[in-house]
Amino acid sequence: MSHLDNTPSTPGKFKMEKSPYVHNRLRWHSSLAKLTCWSFMFLGLILIFFFRSPSSNPLPQDPSRRSLRTYNWGGPVWEKRVRSSARIRSRNGNGISVLVTGAAGFVGTHVSAALKRRGDGVLGLDNFNDYYDPSLKRARQALLERSGVFIVEGDINDSGLLRKLLEVVAFTHVMHLAAQAGVRYAMENPASYVHSNIAGFVSLLEICKSANPQPAIVWASSSSVYGLNTKVPFSERDTTDQPASLYAATKKAGEEIAHTYNHIYGLSLTGLRFFTVYGPWGRPDMAYFFFTRDILKGKSISIFEAANHGTVARDFTYIDDIVKGCLGALDTAEKSTGSGGKKKGPAQLRVYNLGNTSPVPVSDLVSILERLLKVNAKRSIMKLPRNGDVQFTHANISLAQRELGYKPETDLQTGLKKFVRWYLSYYSGGKKAAG
């Protein structure tokens, strides 16, 4: 307390020696103290503003904020790249020009590459989110760039960007694969499913319906829409009103939303229900991928079994078969009938299963991986948690066979061999950390 007792209550009451030197020094000291005090206050305010400002958080927890991220797009150089990537190169007048959303994703990369190979125009769009290792998405982007496919970095919720893209290029088709995938992640981050699978889909359809000409749209639904209590094999005629996860519910909502836009605006829409797709450049959040990683690391892997030791099985479908199904859907898609937001007549609305038709128990998948990797897995058997996964999937593909010429050709053993070869070379014998 003593130093406070010596301090005058007001500066004017401070008695001092009359020496000019002391006087000047005291004045100088007091100004310096004031300046320091104000500087600290100013700095404090800046810090408070900085730490309380939501935009200062580099990884926002709310995924819907991803749409607020600003991406660089626009300008003559950018437009030139967009046009060049989307230009049809060959195919004797049958070429199509496709906007592929989710092009840096697993399926999107393969579909884009296949379209480009046969001479179609392809432009990618992806927001490169960090649901799984974005460096894998960047590596896929580099792969596509080498074959002449440009991926625009942006969100499907950015209607300004979508409008611009459809102004710059008169796309004949949109292959819509951008989505929040994965069943279990929905319990961690439910908003990301609403953001990408519902709001994003509506945002895309809104822009497509107003375009002139309207493109035909093929989009990825999922086998998850079959949900609980559907009898196998799953057929497109089965009801899909008991989704087992939020992911499934958003995919189901997508199918209903598609119906609405087809009905009101004459958009041609085809939904593809993919069944557990696997292969090179796959997704690190999927079992075949992280089992491979964990077996190689000597970590134990959890294999689920249903009640009463029931087998959990999946209709694993190889990526090349899925790509053929996607191309078949694009090639048979009829034109949308509306223009500029007005329907001119009824338009095509379709849904197909794209599966392999031979479900394999997950424990068999592990045995195949053990043989290919020449490492024994440390298996730990666990009860299938009730958080969105179903016990069994099995596709009836006769509709896709008849109408799209879809015919899966790769069995799990052959497909996994190709995946493992890619995995080992990509991660250079485990030097790079996977996923």
Ligand X SMILES: NC(=O)c1ccc[n+]([C@@H]2O[C@H](COP(=O)([O-])OP(=O)(O)OC[C@H]3O[C@@H](n4cnc5c(N)ncnc54)[C@H](O)[C@@H]3O)[C@@H](O)[C@H]2O)c1
Closest contact distance (angstroms) between CB of 220 and ligand X is: 3
Q: Using alpha carbons only, how large is the chain's radius of gyration in Å?
A: 29
Cα-based distances in Å from 63 to 21, 53, 68, 186, 263:
64, 17, 10, 12, 31
Answer yes or no whether residue 144 interacts with ligand X by CB under 6 A. Answer: no
Listing DSSP states for 311-331 in one string gives: PPEE--EEHHHHHHHHHHHHH
Closest contact distance (angstroms) between CB of 40 and ligand X is: 43
Nearer to ligand X, 205 or 338 (CB): 205
Answer yes or no whether residue 128 interacts with ligand X by CB under 6 A. Answer: yes
User: 371-394: buried (b, 16+ CB within 10 Å) or exposed (e) per residue?
Assistant: ebbeeebebeeeebeeebbbbbbb
CA atoms in the 13 A half-sphere facing the CB of 11: 7
H helix intervals, 70-133? 76-86, 106-117
Q: Please enumerate in sequence order all residues whose Cβ is within 8 A of that of 27, keeping only pairs 6 or more positions apart, or say none.
A: none
State both tokens at 11: 């500066």
Nearer to ligand X, 108 or 415 (CB): 108
Answer yes or no whether residue 156 interacts with ligand X by CB under 6 A. Answer: yes
**Maximum distance among all Cα pairs of the chain, rounded to whole angstroms:** 107
Ranges assigned E (strand) in 25-177:
97-101, 121-126, 150-153, 173-176
Instruction: Give the residue, chosen from 82, 85, 97, 126, that forms a contact with ligand X under the rule CB under 6 A.
Output: 126
Closest contact distance (angstroms) between CB of 360 and ligand X is: 14
Per-residue contact string for residues 281-300; x = within reach of ligand X by CB under 6 A: --x-----------------
Per-residue contact string for residues 210-229; x = within reach of ligand X by CB under 6 A: ----------x-x-------
Stretch that binds ligand X, among 183-191, 275-283, 345-353, 364-372 (CB under 6 A): 275-283
Among candidates 283, 271, 275, 274, which has minimal Cα distance to 109? 283
Q: Which of 131, 132, 247, 318 is catalytic?
A: 247
Distance between CA atoms of 123 and 151, rounded to whole angstroms?
6
Answer yes or no whether residue 127 interacts with ligand X by CB under 6 A. Answer: yes
For residues 75-114, which are near ligand X according to CB under 6 A? 102, 104-108
Answer yes or no whether residue 274 interacts with ligand X by CB under 6 A. Answer: yes
Closest contact distance (angstroms) between CB of 134 and ligand X is: 8
For residues 190-209, which are near ligand X according to CB under 6 A? 196, 200
Q: Is residue 352 among the annotated active site residues?
A: no
Among candidates 354, 301, 346, which has minimal Cα distance to 326? 354
Stretch that binds ligand X, among 19-27, 114-122, 154-162, 380-388 (CB under 6 A): 154-162
Known catalytic residues? 247
Binding footprint of ligand X on the chain (CB under 6 A): 102, 104-108, 126-129, 137, 155-157, 177-181, 196, 200, 220, 222, 274, 276-277, 283
